[in-house]
């Protein structure tokens, strides 16, 4: 069934793009519902065995479901006009009609990032329609109630029906670049920290985020932030083979076998940084890529230039106006290596006052307390961290640390 799930993740946004090309952006919600209906049918009928042409199968079924939904909607005021449109789509949809350089998933992403949608709505809608994340996953990524995210998505779909029906083309990428970058970053972050509990990493979602980032790099080759985000993804994904143990357990960075890191991704990521960093005015994604590059270039944890990493996180924190508490948390972790755990614990206490429910806050505190030789407090902090973590692999890692400390 894993093969089918991977196919659905790849095929769903392309199928949605086909329907939107045929029936227009003002039918976004109906088209997305039709794709979801088709996915349910695929789940029932494929049973682990993909059809000869999964994309054609899914597109055909989704089109039928769309037709069914329109015909069943007696309240639609323009039912007769819509029925005519069903027989004469806006664009003749054939496999050869698209340019070989166009990618449906990227086009749907650009559509969801329409400049007249609020940024929060752009991100939420794209994560739902392109990445296939659940409302709960998106809410957890932004630390907001599920109802708030659901409302954003619903409003975004309705707003799209009021906007122009012209399907976006790659030349729109620059206009919508900031939103697209935000979406891809959250998508990749979710892939490496799954909020659903298991698995520890969603490899299909990570691969799709990298794929979209590559396409965006081709569309906007002069953007240092696009190059930075792609480099960040590659350098982070390179550590995946050593990050997950044989039983699915998480292995922290300082315990990873760096010989298992995926060297081609590291070489490609570092080459990107060498290409765009000189003379660049680094933005948030390029700065994070430079941090990942320092980790990738070091032979081990002890040889890592933690002072430079701490400095880069300080610049990043200043550049984002201190509005991202996760960046502050990472800066505190780097600070603990440079100046020791005592100063870091003080900074962590101040951060906890402002963001008491920040993910990883309790686990970082537990680790710092353990390094400070305060085992009783560390044990209590580890228990708090376990209770606050939904990811199964992370919970197991924290339990292992707790048991080791208790002994």
Question: Average model confidence (pLDDT) for the chain?
Answer: 81
159 vs 167 pLDDT, higher one: 159
* Mean pLDDT, rounded, for 190-219: 75
pLDDT in tens, 47-57: 767 778 888 88
Give a three-class secondary structure readout of the chain. Answer: CHHHHHHHHHHHHHHHHHHHHHHCHHHHHHHHHHHHHHHHHHHHHHCCCCCCCHHHHHHHHHHHHHHHHHHHCCCCCCHHHHHHHHHCCCCCCCCCCCCCCCCHHHHHHHHHCCCCCCHHHHHHHHHHHCCCCCHHHHHHHHCCCHHHHHHHHHHHHHHHHHCCCCCCCHHHCCCCHHHHHHHHHHHHHHHHCCCCCCCCCCHHHHHHHHHHHHHHHHHCCCCHHHHHHHHHHHHHHCCHHHHECCCCCECCHHHCCHHHCCHHHHHHHHHHHHHHCCCCCCCHHHHHHHHHHHHHHCCCCCCCCHHHHHHHHHHHHHHCCCCCHHHHHHHHHHHHHHHCHHHHHHHHHHHHHHCCCCCCHHHHHHHHHHHCCCHHHHHHHHHHHHHHCCCHHHHHHHHHHHHHHHC
How confident is the model at residue 311, as a pLDDT? 97
Give pLDDT tens digits for 235-251: 999 998 898 888 777 88
Residue 79: what pLDDT?
Answer: 43
Question: Which one is predicted more confidently, 277 or 31?
Answer: 277
According to the model, what pLDDT value does residue 164 have?
58
pLDDT at 110: 78
Q: Of 25-34, 217-226, 262-271, 352-361, which has the strongest mean pLDDT?
A: 262-271
Q: Where are the domains of the chain?
A: 359-407
**What is the pTM assigned to this prediction?**
0.73
């Amino acid at each position: 069934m894993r093969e089918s799930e991977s196919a659905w993740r790849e095929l769903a946004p392309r199928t949605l793009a086909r329907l939107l090309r045929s029936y227009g952006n003002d039918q976004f919600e109906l088209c997305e519902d039709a794709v979801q209906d088709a996915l349910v049918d695929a789940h029932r009928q494929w049973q682990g065995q993909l059809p000869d042409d999964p994309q054609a199968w899914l597109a055909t079924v989704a089109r039928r479901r769309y037709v069914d939904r329109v015909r069943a909607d007696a309240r639609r005021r323009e039912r007769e006009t819509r029925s005519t449109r069903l027989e004469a789509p806006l664009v003749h949809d054939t496999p050869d009609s698209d340019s070989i350089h166009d990618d449906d998933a990227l086009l749907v992403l650009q559509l969801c990032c329409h400049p007249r949608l609020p940024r929060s709505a752009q991100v939420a809608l794209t994560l739902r329609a392109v990445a296939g994340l659940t409302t709960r996953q998106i809410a957890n990524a932004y630390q907001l109630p599920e109802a708030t995210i659901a409302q954003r998505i619903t409003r975004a779909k309705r707003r799209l029906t009021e906007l122009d029906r012209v399907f976006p083309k790659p030349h729109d990428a620059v206009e919508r670049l900031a939103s697209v970058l935000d979406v891809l970053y959250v998508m990749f972050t979710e892939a490496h920290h799954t909020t659903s509990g298991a698995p520890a990493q969603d490899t299909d979602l990570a691969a799709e985020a990298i794929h979209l980032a590559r396409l965006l790099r081709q569309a906007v080759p002069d953007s240092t932030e696009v190059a930075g985000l792609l480099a960040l993804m590659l350098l982070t994904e390179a550590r995946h083979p050593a990050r997950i143990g044989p039983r699915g357990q998480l292995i922290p960075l300082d315990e990873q076998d760096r010989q298992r890191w995926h060297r081609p991704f590291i070489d490609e990521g570092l080459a990107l940084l060498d290409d765009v960093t000189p003379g660049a005015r680094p933005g948030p994604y390029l700065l994070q890529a430079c941090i990942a590059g320092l980790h990738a270039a070091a032979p081990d944890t002890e040889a890592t230039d933690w002072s430079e990493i701490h400095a880069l996180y300080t610049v990043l924190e200043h550049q984002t106006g201190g509005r991202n508490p996760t960046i502050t948390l990472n800066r505190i972790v780097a600070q603990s290596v440079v100046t020791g755990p005592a100063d870091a614990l003080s900074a962590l206490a101040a951060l906890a006052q402002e963001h008491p429910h920040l993910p990883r806050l309790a686990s970082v505190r537990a680790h710092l307390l353990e390094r400070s030789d305060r085992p009783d407090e560390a044990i209590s902090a580890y228990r708090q961290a376990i209770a606050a973590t939904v990811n199964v692999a992370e919970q197991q890692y924290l339990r292992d640390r707790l048991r080791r400390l208790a002994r």
